[in-house]
């Protein structure tokens, strides 16, 4: 069953279960997920889970980020992270299905754009799902002096209405920055 869960409804036992699943799916980040699911001080607004027989089979989390353009226009965007399916269930279109549910929920919540940063090898996968590759001028910032190292990650976006993503350099950062 696919569930959409607001962050305030994720109690510590479920949080621990999600983190254990993320440790398996992202062994390179296991040390982080062993302690927390939050990156750059921004907790998800909601998480989409596929649970089968009480176990988490797939996960996507959505955080709010702000894009600031060179004209100093600010847009809140929904940023997708932790897209993962447990190894034994991969290749069955579960990832696609979960992303579809996630994007529909993002749209329903009124966002104009969804963004994500992915490994280069997955760019064709996201393109097949209607995502577009942004150029290198979409940069993630931790604070005004510190761009987050996203060198190995490709910035991608999806337009959810007829509004186009603004052109030119785009700073992605937490809404409070
Ligand atoms: C990426 C992931 C979520 C896809 O889930 P899934 O349910 O297997 O995806 P789908 O069945 O919808 O699509 C499978 C397709 O994904 C693509 N894909 C999956 N992993 C890939 C990889 N590492 N490199 C390139 N393409 C990949 C392939 O096109 C694959 O097609 P195939 O089955 O014909 O080979 C899953 O492989 C996963 O959890 N990977 C580890 C965590 C991760 O890297 N997440 C992405 C973070 S951006």
| Cα dihedral across residues 83, 105, 18, 37: positive or negative | positive
For the chain, give the longest Cα–Cα distance: 50
Which residues contact residue 130 at a Cβ distance below 8 angstroms, ignoring those fewer than 6 apart?
Answer: 158
pLDDT digits (tens, 9 = 90+) for 155-174: 899 999 999 988 877 888 78
Q: Which residue has tokens 């992605």?
A: 172
Mean pLDDT of the chain: 91
pLDDT digits (tens, 9 = 90+) for 49-107: 999 999 999 999 999 999 888 878 888 999 999 999 999 999 999 999 999 999 999 99
Q: Given this model, what pLDDT does residue 18 score?
A: 98
Angle at 97 between CA 94 and CA 99, to 5 degrees: 110
Q: How far apart are the CA of 69 and the centre of ligand 1, in A?
A: 32
What's the CATH number where 102 sits?
3.40.630.30
Query: Ligand 1: which residue has its CA nearest to atom 17?
Result: 125
CB-ligand 1 contact for 23 (6 Å cutoff) = no
Q: Domain range spanning residue 102?
A: 2-173
Which residues contact residue 19 at a Cβ distance below 8 angstroms, ignoring those fewer than 6 apart?
Answer: 33, 34, 35, 36, 37
Split into its structural domains, the chain has a count of 1
CB-ligand 1 contact for 95 (6 Å cutoff) = yes
Percentage of the chain lying above the pLDDT 70 cut = 93
Q: How far apart are the CA of 121 and the centre of ligand 1, in A?
A: 9
Q: Given this model, what pLDDT does residue 73 score?
A: 83
**Which atom of ligand 1 is closest in space to residue 84's alpha carbon?**
39
Q: Given this model, what pLDDT does residue 75 score?
A: 87
Q: How far apart are the CA of 18 and the centre of ligand 1, in A?
A: 19
pTM: 0.92
Torsion of CA 139, 45, 26, 172, to 10 degrees: 0
Rounded to 5 degrees, what are φ and ψ at 83? Answer: -65, 120
Beta strands in 96-152 (DSSP E): 113-119, 132-133, 138-143, 146-147
């Amino acid at each position: 069953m696919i569930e959409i869960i607001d962050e305030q409804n994720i109690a510590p036992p479920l949080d621990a279960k999600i983190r254990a699943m993320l440790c398996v799916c992202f062994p390179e980040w296991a040390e982080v997920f062993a302690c927390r699911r939050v990156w750059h001080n921004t907790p998800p607004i909601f998480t989409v889970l596929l649970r089968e027989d009480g176990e988490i089979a797939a996960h996507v989390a959505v955080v709010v980020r702000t894009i600031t353009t060179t004209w100093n226009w600010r847009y809140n965007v929904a940023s997708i992270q932790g897209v993962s399916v447990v190894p034994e269930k991969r290749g069955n279109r579960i990832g696609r299905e979960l992303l579809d549910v996630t994007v529909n929920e993002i749209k329903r919540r009124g966002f104009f754009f969804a963004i994500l940063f992915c490994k280069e090898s997955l760019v064709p996968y996201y393109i097949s799902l209607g995502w577009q590759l942004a150029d290198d001028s979409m940069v993630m910032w931790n604070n005004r002096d510190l761009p987050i190292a996203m060198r190995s990650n490709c910035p991608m976006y999806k337009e959810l209405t007829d509004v186009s993503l603004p052109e030119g350099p785009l700073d992605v950062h937490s809404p409070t920055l």
